[in-house]
Amino acid sequence: MKKKDNAMKLLRLIWGYIAKKPKKEIDDILRGPRDVVMQDDKEPVSLEKATYSSRLLLVAAEFGNREFVVELIRLYPDLIWKVDDNNQSIFHVAVAHRHEGIYNLLYEIGSMKDLISPLRDWNDNNMLHLVGKCAKQKRLEDVSGVALKVQRELLWFKEVEAMIPPAYRERKNKDGLTPYELFTKEHKDLVDQGEKWLKDMANHYMVIDCLITAMVFAATYTFPGGYRQTEDKYNGLPVFLSKPSFFGFCFSGWRFFFGFLAMSIIIAVVAGLVVLLFIRLHYRLIYDVGRSLFGSRYLFKPKKTCSFLQKPYGVSFVIFLLGERVGC
């Protein structure tokens, strides 16, 4: 934690110095070096179109470094309009890599999100198309259980669907796919794996349930001689009900009562240990289920307000957004 605080102090110091420079110099620093292709003789080749894959801000968005992104925007708010070589903003990059911390900053820029969220890349993918593509495996590993991974992906899709303008929800990309069609295609294997996982877990829990039930109801009580199977009024009564020995059996049963009571306590303790062992072995899954049920409602929308993002912006920023297709 101390190292992180020191790193943020250093970032503020360096960035505070850079932010005082002219706009062009700031853009050049943030853009990073121009991409080059090396030939076999290791001579660089000039590209017909300049590309910059090491853009500082967008790399931070890709890795989900929210503190770094916020600190850069704090002194240079123009950065919320910047796009990469594929015409994607930091929010589009955050959606593609499932970083809700950066995505939630959209809620803090007011009506400007209505200008940023509809942006499309060069393949006509809008923000909902990006969430339609299956998340990277590393991000899916944050949740245990395939069914819960599918649920998390659905949460993302419904969230972004509500964010973008309604007219963009059915827009097709250059592959002729709507966001919903792309989501269905990309997540087919994950859904199949989720169905198999649920069946396997159901069978697994059924075996454990039968084991616990067998332990709890291991002992049964039956009268000697059985019960009458007649059609008269004595049907269902014990066969030896009228015998003196029957009353002796019932009286002696009181002695067995305490034995059964002790056995019940032992069975309850053993069953409790089985339940505790089950919870211990499946702690991560139980935790993720609880988090998915109760914590998912807090996954989106900001947890704390960054007031510097709430300042109004003039017409120049709108012109900047509409006029600059690739920047930084």
Taking residues 285-301, report their average pLDDT. 71
CB 54 within 8 A of CB 33: yes
pLDDT at 170 over 80: yes
- Residue 125 CA to residue 143 CA, distance in Å, equals 27
Query: pLDDT, tens digit, for every residue of 172-203?
Result: 999 999 999 999 999 998 888 888 877 777 77
Query: pLDDT, tens digit, for every residue of 17-66?
Result: 787 888 888 777 777 667 665 555 555 555 456 666 557 788 888 899 88
**H/E element, 176:** none
Higher pLDDT, 222 or 171: 171
Cα distances from 3 to residues 6, 59, 91, 173, 246, in angstroms, run 5, 21, 27, 44, 82
241-263 burial: b if 16+ Cβ within 10 Å, else e: eeeeebeeeeeeeeeeeeeeeee
The listed range with the strongest mean pLDDT (172-181, 205-214, 224-233) is: 172-181
**Cα dihedral 103, 158, 177, 167 in deg (nearest 10):** -80
Among the listed residues 98, 102, 195, 104, the one whose alpha carbon sits nearest the alpha carbon of residue 140: 98
What is the pLDDT at residue 217? 55
Q: How confident is the model at residue 5 (pLDDT cuts 50, 70, 90)?
A: confident
Query: pLDDT, tens digit, for every residue of 123-166?
Result: 999 999 999 998 888 887 777 778 788 888 999 999 999 999 99
pLDDT at 84 over 80: yes
Work out the number of other CB atoms within 10 angstroms of the CB of residue 116: 18
- Residue 237 CA to residue 3 CA, distance in Å, equals 81
- Residue 77 CA to residue 69 CA, distance in Å, equals 11
